[in-house]
Amino acid sequence: MSATVESVIVAIDGPAGTGKSSTSRAVAAQLGLSYLDTGAQYRAITWWMISNGVDTDDPEAVAGAAEKPAIVSGTDPAAPTITVDGADAAGPIRTQEVSSRVSAVSAVPAVRTRITELQRVIAASAPGGIVVEGRDIGTTVLPDADLKIFLTASPEARAARRSGEIQGADVAATREALLKRDAADSGRKTSPLAKADDAVEVDTTELTLQQVIECVVTLVEERRAAGAGERTAR
C-alpha cells in the first residue's frame, strides 16, 4: 500500500441525527483507520465548564477557562474514549444538561481555537489515516482532507433517530431541539456548520445505516485508488 493511500484523511460533517458517528466509526473500523468524534471534545469542555462552575452563558468566562481542561481523545473506532483531567468523561458528556449548553460553549472563538488545534494534532499523527467527524472539519479544521463528505437528512428522520437513542424522548420535542441546534451551529460567527465546496453530499433520509456505511466506504476506496494513481503518475 502506498504512503498516499495509507495516510488518507476523511472529513465527515453534518448536523446531528444524520448518522455521522455510527457511519464514521464503522467506516474507520472497516478500513483500518483511526476515528475522532470532535463533537465529544466540545461536549467534554462543556462538561468541564459546568462541573467547575463556569457560567456557560458568559463568553468571556468560557474563553478565560478554555485552556484549563486536559482533554484526551482515544481514536480506536472499536472503543473510542475521552478523558478530562484524567477522568473518564464518555458517560457524563452525554447528559441533557451538556447537550443544552454545548452550542453556547462551542460558539466561543477561544474554545474553537483550542479544540481545533487539538484535532489537527490528532489527525496529523494518526498512523494509517483517520476519519474525523464533526460540523466544520472539511471547511475549517482539515480543509486539505483527502475526502470530504457532508451527511444530510430530513428533520423528521433525524428526530426519529435521535429519539431512538434517547430513552423516553419525545420525537416532536427532539425535532425542535435539533432545529434549534442547527440554527445555533449554522449561525455562529466562528467556524459555522457548513458544507465544504468540494464535499460529497450524501442524503441519508431514505437509507439504512448499512447503506450509508457502504456508500462512504466506496467513496473512500475510490479516493484511495485515485491517490495511488496520482502517486504512480508522478
What is the torsional sign of CA 168, 172, 175, 177? Answer: negative
Q: What is the pLDDT of residue 225?
A: 85
Q: In what order do the strands lie in the sheet with 130-134?
A: 34-37, 130-134, 9-13, 147-152, 200-203
Q: What is the pLDDT of residue 166?
A: 62
Q: What is the pLDDT of residue 222?
A: 92
Per-residue pLDDT tens for 166-213?
A: 656 677 888 888 888 777 777 777 777 789 999 999 999 999 999 999
Q: What is the pLDDT of residue 30?
A: 96
Q: What is the pLDDT of residue 229?
A: 65
CA 221 to chain centre: 21
CB environment 154-171: b (16+ within 10 A), e (fewer):
ebebbbbbbbeeeeebee
CB environment 179-202: b (16+ within 10 A), e (fewer):
eebbebbeebeebebbbbeebbeb
3-223 architecture in CATH? 3-Layer(aba) Sandwich (3.40)
CA distances from 57 to 5, 101, 107 (A): 44, 8, 11
Name the stretches of the chain with pLDDT < 50: 1-5
Q: pTM value?
A: 0.87
